[in-house]
Amino acid sequence: MISGIPASPGIVFGKALVLKEEKIVLDTTKITDDQVDAEIACFYKGRSAAVEQLNSIRDRAFASLGEEKAAIFEGHLMILEDEELEEEIIDYLRSHKVNAGVAASKIIDQQVEMLSEIDDEYLKERAGDIRDIGNRLVKNILGMNIVDLGDINEESILVAYDLTPSETAQLNLDKVLGFITDIGGRTSHTSIMARSLELPAIVGTNNVTEKVNTGDFLILDAVNNKVYINPTQAQIDELKALEEKLVEEKAELAKLKDLPAVTLDGHKVEVVANIGTIRDCEGANRNGAEGVGLYRTEFLFMDRDQLPTEEEQFIAYKDVVEAMTGRLVVLRTMDIGGDKDLPYLDLPKEMNPFLGWRAIRIALDRREILHAQLRAVLRASAFGKLAVMFPMIISVEEIRELKSVIGTLKEELRSEGKAFDENIQIGVMVETPSAAVNAKFLAKEVDFFSIGTNDLTQYTLAVDRGNELISHLYNPMQPSVLGLIKQVIDASHAEGKWTGMCGELAGDERATLLLLGMGLDEFSMSAISVPRIKKLIRSVNFQEAKELADTALQKPTASEIEQLIEGFLSEKALN
């Protein structure tokens, strides 16, 4: 049995198709001066072929995945046709007297190595994109055959060292049941695409390609993070039964799609979705989300070589607001820095980027970025229910400054005759201990809070959850974290305001009833989790949840809190 990182949920059964990539063999023989021009021509010919292929892949991605995901390949094309990259390759070819394949491979390897060494998860995973582009370029220069995964004509579970975004976009979804890879992370473009395609996938297994052969019968259980190789009949029967149960559960949960998240004794909350692009609105609507609690706008800033214009942002935000048809969309301003970098912003290298120049700190220093985004947000607010919130706030001074900026921009738009919502709600992401402790003061300044439990937990516990040596210490159920959450909720209610939560904890069934009892007003999560959380809320009395929370908040350890919740769920037959 093999496990890895579940990238996209589901259970599928089928024969393995192991992708064996044709190895690139480079001829390192030095070329003569009179061969240089011919090799440069070879480079341009290979690049033209690669560009033609990527254009085709982009068009296919647009048809199957939508405009936002197709934009990934616009970024690939920009890199491939980048003038600096072209100059570096040709300069290396001329100065080192090597052929075009060697020169392109050397320069691409240098860029991949540079990105891989940066302590930044987003950039490390973008190194895979550069490698993908480079391999395609070199293969075309060498005249090698490039496999088109759209040509797969038998039902298969793909097994590969890695699947690049371009390969994922080519998959024949009528035949490819799911995929498993040796490497990869949950936030890679390939994993994001798998979720958009609702294609079961497990990545980062380390060695699945060494353990599986083409033709092996596999069970890919991306719900429980297990891959069975040539399973026994008993295992097949067990997983078939689980699959049927999941299908039945999904059908039952679908019945809740248009029902409100209200407890048995009439206490109503909102269960909404986290999104990153317009494409995600489809999943939010399909799963019955009552709105959007976190619209991550930074995706609009990624995979491009310059900032999006005000007009580009306005169109993107307007499209999302209209797609949610009158339900509230809470938009978070650009959250760049920390684990997300934009090469064209030339962000400084920092010893600790999570405590550095990121999110609202960049926006307040780079006012042109802030103003363009907020003007676009205000203009989009004329087309539906839209609220704006700011990440990484630590003080009342920051929010007052931001409110002043919004006031100035409103005046600008009025003078230009452009419509906007005069009463647009303004909120704060509570993800620093400072914001949580200052909640009683911040609540007087804003219309709502949204608790980002991922960062709030990291900062409160001083634990980098990406550090394998200490990641076991990361637990949002620690009394210190829960105490801050309760403090924030109470502070907002004291001022007649509301509090949502958009971190992973909001979609964690173990925490749902605890948060409900603590008074949380809005639960925002991945769209796929919405029906299950709705069902749980609709299965209990609010008074019971409140008593559970009151008891839990008196416990001194996370384990005792977790045991208490498990006992409650078991007693009510809810687990």
pLDDT, tens digit (0-9, with 9 covering 90-100), for 512-570:
999 999 999 999 988 888 998 999 999 999 999 999 999 999 999 999 999 999 999 99
| Cα–Cα distance, 9 to 32 (Å, whole number) | 55
Q: Which of 85, 113, 142 is the C-terminal boundary of a domain?
A: 142
Quick one: pLDDT at residue 83? 87
**Residue 248: inside a domain, yes or no?**
no
pLDDT above 90 coverage of the chain, percent:
60
Same domain, 305 and 352: yes
pLDDT at 404 over 90: yes
The one-character DSSP state at 349 is P
For 176, phi and psi rounded to 5 degrees?
-80, 115
| Cα–Cα distance, 164 to 167 (Å, whole number) | 5
Alpha-carbon distances of 531 from 9, 118, 570, rounded to whole Å: 15, 39, 20
pLDDT at 147 over 80: no
| Cα–Cα distance, 249 to 246 (Å, whole number) | 5
Mean pLDDT, residues 106-125 taken together: 72
**Residue 250: inside a domain, yes or no?**
no
| Cα–Cα distance, 118 to 127 (Å, whole number) | 10
| Cα–Cα distance, 290 to 271 (Å, whole number) | 6
CATH of the domain at 119: 1.10.274.10
| Both structure tokens of 372 | 């363009």
End-to-end CA distance of the chain: 26
- Give residue 123's pLDDT band: very low, low, confident or very high (50, 70, 90): low
Residues 58-73: tens digit of each pLDDT:
777 776 666 656 667 7
pLDDT at 125 over 70: no
| Cα–Cα distance, 276 to 297 (Å, whole number) | 6
* Residue 6, beta-bridge partner list: 202
Same domain, 3 and 51: no
Quick one: pLDDT at residue 165? 66
| Cα–Cα distance, 367 to 373 (Å, whole number) | 10
Q: Which of 217, 232, 247 is the C-terminal boundary of a domain?
A: 232
Q: Is the CB of residue 524 less than 8 Å from the CB of residue 515?
A: no
CATH of the domain at 472: 3.20.20.60
Quick one: pLDDT at residue 500? 98
Same domain, 61 and 5: no
Residues 315-350: tens digit of each pLDDT:
999 999 999 999 999 999 988 765 455 666 766 676
Quick one: pLDDT at residue 81? 87
Q: Which helix (H) or strand (E) holds 386?
A: strand 386-390
379 is in an annotated binding site: no
- Contacts of residue 259, defined as CB under 8 A and 6 or more positions apart, other chains included, come to 288, 534, 538
Same domain, 168 and 307: no
Nearest to 376 by CA among 324, 328, 312, 429: 312
Residues 493-525: tens digit of each pLDDT:
999 999 999 977 898 888 999 999 999 999 998
Quick one: pLDDT at residue 120? 55
Quick one: pLDDT at residue 343? 66
- How many residues are recorded in the chain? 575
Same domain, 175 and 290: no
99 is in an annotated binding site: no
Lowest mean pLDDT among 53-57, 294-298, 380-384: 53-57
Same domain, 68 and 155: no
Same domain, 295 and 193: no
CATH of the domain at 210: 3.50.30.10
Quick one: pLDDT at residue 329? 98
Contacts of 80-84 with C-beta under 8 Å, sequence gap 24+, read 80/47, 80/50, 80/51, 80/54, 80/133, 80/136, 80/137, 81/47, 81/51, 82/305
Nearest to 273 by CA among 501, 452, 489, 497: 501
Same domain, 136 and 192: no
358 is in an annotated binding site: no
- Label residue 418 exposed, middle or buried (CB < 10 Å: 0-12, 13-18, 19+): middle
**Residue 214: inside a domain, yes or no?**
yes
How many other C-beta atoms can be found within 10 angstroms of the C-beta atom of residue 266?
8
Same domain, 397 and 278: yes
Specify the residue for token string 């004291």.
494
**Residue 251: inside a domain, yes or no?**
no
**Residue 242: inside a domain, yes or no?**
no
DSSP per-residue string spanning 490-534: HHHHHTT-EEEE-SGGGG-HHHHHHHHHHT--EEEE-GGGHHHHH
Q: Which of 95, 122, 142 is the C-terminal boundary of a domain?
A: 142
Q: Is the CB of residue 96 less than 8 Å from the CB of residue 103?
A: yes
Nearest to 562 by CA among 456, 481, 452: 481
Nearest to 279 by CA among 75, 67, 525: 67
Ranked by mean pLDDT, the top range of 207-211, 307-311, 374-378 is 374-378
Range list of H helices, 331-425: 360-365, 367-380, 396-416
Residues 434-451: tens digit of each pLDDT:
999 999 999 999 999 999
What pTM was computed for the model?
0.70
Count of structural domains, the chain: 3
Lowest mean pLDDT among 53-57, 114-118, 525-529: 114-118
Same domain, 13 and 133: no
**Residue 254: inside a domain, yes or no?**
no
- Give residue 226's pLDDT band: very low, low, confident or very high (50, 70, 90): very high
Nearest to 456 by CA among 471, 473, 440, 475: 475
Higher pLDDT, 88 or 53: 88
Alpha-carbon distances of 391 from 334, 359, 402, rounded to whole Å: 8, 6, 12
| Domain region containing 98 | 22-142
**Residue 469: inside a domain, yes or no?**
yes
Mean pLDDT, residues 79-93 taken together: 91
- Using DSSP, state whether 114 is helix, strand or coil: helix
pLDDT at 117 over 70: no
Per-residue burial over 354-391, b = 16 or more CB atoms within 10 Å of its CB, e = otherwise: eeeebbbbbbeeeeebbbbbbbbbbbbbbbbbbbbbbb
**Residue 328: inside a domain, yes or no?**
yes
Quick one: pLDDT at residue 336? 74
Quick one: pLDDT at residue 480? 97
Quick one: pLDDT at residue 130? 84
Specify the residue for token string 């005046």.
411
Report, as residue numbers or ranges, the catalytic residues.
189, 502
Higher pLDDT, 279 or 246: 246
| Cα–Cα distance, 225 to 179 (Å, whole number) | 13
The one-character DSSP state at 288 is T
Same domain, 201 and 294: no
pLDDT at 184 over 70: yes
279 is in an annotated binding site: no
| Cα–Cα distance, 370 to 529 (Å, whole number) | 32
Quick one: pLDDT at residue 179? 95
431 is in an annotated binding site: yes
Mean pLDDT, residues 283-303 taken together: 89
Question: What is the rounded average pLDDT for all residues in the chain?
Answer: 88
- Using DSSP, state whether 198 is helix, strand or coil: coil
465 is in an annotated binding site: yes
DSSP per-residue string spanning 62-104: HHHH-HHHHHHHHHHHHHHT-HHHHHHHHHHHHHHT--HHHHH
Q: Which helix (H) or strand (E) holds 176?
A: strand 176-181
Q: Is the CB of residue 447 less than 8 Å from the CB of residue 425?
A: yes
Same domain, 135 and 225: no
* Cα-trace Rg, the chain: 25
